[in-house]
């Protein structure tokens, strides 16, 4: 029986992997650079940890990619760089154009590409999550799933990227109208007619009140849905169908709410965030928002480095903040570690693209994992939610001191975006 490699076991991915395990399919995953929470999810559903991506690639006949849409291309490139030559299934919320780009990436080393689309919540008993598949190899993937009460597999004829096209059309309505309802309610609050609008909804469109409550429920995933709406806008543009502006606007709505990641915010907090997004934040508020990002648990940062010979590297890494310095953990052989120790500097990006903090840092020290102080290792383990000391192998902690920090959301915040210069806060 085929072995399935899962990239990566988030809530949805773990549920799909668990459904396969229940059908006696061996599902492997790679814990390298993954959080303790991810490991707990994987363990709970019986996934087999093989440690590294290279080993996952070598042991898998099929790779199933289930990740945030903005990461789908990078995940595919990593699998291709490791030489995967089996069947690669991209089951992410991406446009047909992005799906074709992913297909080209994974086919380069000899893999066969299947486009996928998951509709519904995590695959739980009685939930009937649908997995749509398209492409010449879709039947081989469909055969992995027995008919049951967790995942219904539907093979689509037609274009290779039909599954992604379906996802874009479906989510344009479900997530798009959720974002629209949130924005409309914020507009009513701004105009002073919120109470009257809610009363009119109650009289003539009572279903909108329930749908608004459901829209509130998706806000903790707004950071993920912003990228999905960007992909939907691309799908409209690529198809030359009018309407790309609508998902682009809803991406802006969700991007504004990205700071509520994994937070069950109340109605007032959500509407206040939408109501005030166009007003530039004062410097003190921007600083507080940056510090909140730096202190966030189980968050990732984009880390950009380069070497003297032009070997550039951009990767997402878990991080911790000790109040003054950023701490990364990575094997010393990685391009990030090599570049940082050669050049002594990097650029770190936190947050969504519409609520970004750019931090220019200098390397203060690189500490072998065995030589690091207990205070440093605990700060990292608690905030990053994983402990490299438990993984095995060689790691270094890269301790980085900020020299310049910039933060902005929209174009109206370009002025005043520099909050720190030469290591000194300006606000």
* Residues 192-202 pLDDT 10s: 999 999 999 99
User: Average pLDDT over the chain, rounded to whole?
Assistant: 92
What pLDDT is recorded for position 386? 83
The pTM (predicted TM-score) of the whole model is: 0.72
Q: Is the pLDDT of residue 278 over 80?
A: no
Sign of CA dihedral 30, 31, 35, 38: positive
The CATH code of the domain at 165-275 is 1.10.1040
Cis peptide before 78 (omega within 30 of 0): no
Q: Superfamily for 4-160?
A: NAD(P)-binding Rossmann-like Domain (3.40.50.720)
Average pLDDT over residues 44-57: 96
pLDDT for res 272: 87
Q: Which residues of the chain are in CATH 3.40.50.720 domains? A: 4-160
Tokens of 345: 């500097």
In the predicted structure, residue 368 carries a pLDDT above the cut 90: yes
Query: Is 297-425 CATH 2.60.40.10?
Result: no
Q: How confident is the model at residue 335 (pLDDT cuts 50, 70, 90)?
A: very high
What's the mean pLDDT in 84-106? 96
Q: Can you give the pLDDT at residue 49? A: 96
The pLDDT confidence band at residue 390, using thresholds 50, 70 and 90, is confident
Q: Would you state the pLDDT for residue 297?
A: 81
Structure confidence at residue 259 (pLDDT): 80
Looking at residue 160, what is its pLDDT?
94
CA distance 283 to 132: 47
pLDDT at 290 over 80: yes
Which residues of the chain form CATH 2.30.110.10? 297-425
Range list of H helices, 192-329:
194-204, 207-218, 222-239, 245-256, 267-275, 283-294
The segment(s) of the chain belonging to CATH 1.10.1040 are: 165-275
Mean pLDDT of 356-379: 94
Tell me 168's DSSP state: H
Average pLDDT over residues 164-172: 97
pLDDT of residue 307: 85
Q: What is the pLDDT of residue 389?
A: 87
Distance CA 132, CA 126 (A): 18
């Amino acid at each position: 029986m085929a072995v399935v490699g899962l990239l990566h076991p988030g809530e949805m991915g773990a549920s799909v992997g668990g459904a396969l395990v229940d059908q006696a399919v061996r599902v492997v995953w790679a814990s390298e650079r993954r959080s303790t929470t991810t490991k707990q999810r994987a363990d709970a559903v019986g996934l087999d940890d093989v440690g590294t991506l290279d080993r996952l690639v070598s042991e898998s006949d099929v790779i199933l990619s289930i990740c945030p849409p903005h990461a789908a291309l990078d995940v595919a490139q990593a699998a291709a760089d490791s030489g995967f030559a089996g069947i690669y299934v991209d089951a992410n919320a991406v446009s047909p154009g992005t799906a074709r780009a992913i297909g080209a990436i994974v086919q380069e080393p000899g893999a066969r590409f299947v486009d996928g689309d998951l509709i519904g919540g995590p695959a739980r008993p009685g939930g009937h999550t649908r997995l749509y598949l398209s492409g010449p190899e879709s039947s081989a993937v469909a055969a992995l799933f027995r008919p049951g009460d967790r995942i219904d597999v539907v093979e689509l004829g037609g274009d290779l990227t039909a599954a992604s096209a379906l996802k874009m059309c479906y989510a344009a309505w479900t997530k798009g109208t959720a974002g629209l309802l949130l924005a409309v309610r914020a507009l009513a609050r701004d105009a002073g007619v919120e109470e009257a609008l809610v009363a009119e909804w109650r009289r003539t469109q009572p279903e909108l009140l329930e749908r608004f409550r459901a829209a509130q429920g998706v806000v903790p995933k707004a950071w993920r849905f912003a990228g999905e709406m960007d992909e939907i806008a691309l799908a409209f543009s690529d198809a030359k169908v009018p309407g790309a502006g609508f998902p682009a606007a809803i991406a802006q709505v969700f991007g504004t709410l990205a700071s509520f990641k994994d937070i069950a915010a109340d109605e007032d907090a959500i509407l206040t965030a939408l109501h005030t997004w166009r007003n530039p934040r004062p410097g003190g508020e921007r600083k507080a928002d940056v510090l909140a990002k730096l202190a966030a648990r189980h968050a990732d940062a984009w880390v950009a480095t380069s070497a003297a010979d032009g070997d550039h590297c951009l990767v997402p890494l878990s991080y911790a903040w000790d109040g003054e310095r950023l701490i990364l953990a990575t094997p010393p052989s990685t391009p990030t570690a090599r570049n940082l120790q050669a050049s002594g500097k990097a650029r770190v990006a936190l947050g969504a693209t519409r609520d970004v903090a750019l931090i220019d840092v200098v390397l203060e020290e690189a500490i072998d994992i065995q030589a690091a102080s207990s205070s440093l290792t605990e700060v990292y383990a608690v905030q990053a939610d994983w402990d490299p000391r438990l993984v095995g192998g060689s790691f270094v902690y890269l301790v980085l001191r900020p020299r310049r920090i910039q933060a902005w959301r929209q174009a109206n915040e370009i002025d005043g975006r520099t909050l720190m210069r030469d290591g000194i806060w300006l606000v």
